[in-house]
Structure 1
Amino acid sequence: MDQNIANIRHDYQLKGLLESDLDPDPLKQFRLWFDDVLEAGITESNAMLLSTVSEGRPAGRIVLLKDFDKRGFSFFTNYDSKKGREIEANPQVALTFFWKELERQVRIEGKIEKTSEEESDEYFAVRPRGSQIGAWASAQSEVIPDRTFLEEKTSELKARFEGRPVPRPPYWGGYRVVPDYIEFWQGRPSRLHDRLAYTKQSDGEWKVERLSP
């Protein structure tokens, strides 16, 4: 065993999380915690791990949360990418946020669906122009010969769209994760963390339970 790795540890001591602290609605509770993240000025505060499963094999990658409301949590990507194909095969996914500065983690599970084309158009229109062109240039997850191939394709697209708005590619758009499980984790001393989980019931109400750390 690598003792340098084994000895890495941090004792969490900032706050606790009690049932009385929670909003009955987990989306509202997420808003409270996310406001804390924004107030703390945490870099890449909207970065989240998206986990998918295809043919029994899990995969994870970091994507950026772009919106959340009572419907769920939204992000945007290439529908033809590896994650897009995995989502098509199995729409059950998970999201994980970890904000180490606040010693907090949020785990979300649920079913994923595409956002409307109007929502995808609206977000694509406000992306930086370079990112818009990048969405056309990248056949995401596909093998390419080298970096030069990508740079040359980007240059061609810049010339193609010069002097006019860049339209949204038909294979690019939004997803929304509709949650049925949301867990809030607050680090505590001696690894006796607080874990409070919301599970959506058949009547649409949320049940809150404390989990052992």
Structure 2
Amino acid sequence: MTKRNNTSNKKELSLEQHEELLRALKARFEKNMHRHKGLEWAKVQAKLDANTEKLWSLNEMEITGGEPDVVGHDKKKGEYIFYDCSAESPKGRRSVCYDREGLESRKKHKPENNAIDMATAMGIELLTEEQYRALQKLENFDMKTSSWVQTPSDIRELGGALFCDCRFGHVFVYHNGAESYYAARGFRGSLRV
């Protein structure tokens, strides 16, 4: 697993981290061709090499257990789309409230962080419900865990937040108070490169 670069606050990787991450991404890409039929690793790598800040974000996805992989290609924008493809919600992103407001509203037993702030710091976005459903069409994810997804403002204004999982061969969307957190709930992210 790649490590964080503690020598600098810049969003860039050392040469060693860069190479290690590319090896991991390439191996995952080649092992899971069903996620990105018709795409070529060489073209993906060329985009990654030209976007070092995005590579830093992918490294953050990797070190928090997300196992990012290519799930699509936006031909109009010329961007490759990465989602967290770990079997379960990424381990390094669990036990978090939905957002800062939810976190600050807790009187006791506050978790260390929240999904929205973590995603922003990583340079990624939480999956939407639509993206989550598209991911589940590739294979089954979150069969034991659940993941926060982007919540519509009308729900969030009333104190709620949405999360999803996959049980019994179906994707389920649920709600909780945004201040809630569970050891088995994290979040999945997306990144365009």
Q: One fold, TM greater than 0.5?
A: no
Normalising to structure 2: TM-score of the pair?
0.31
**CA radius of gyration, larger in:** 1
- Structure richer in helix, relative to its length: 2
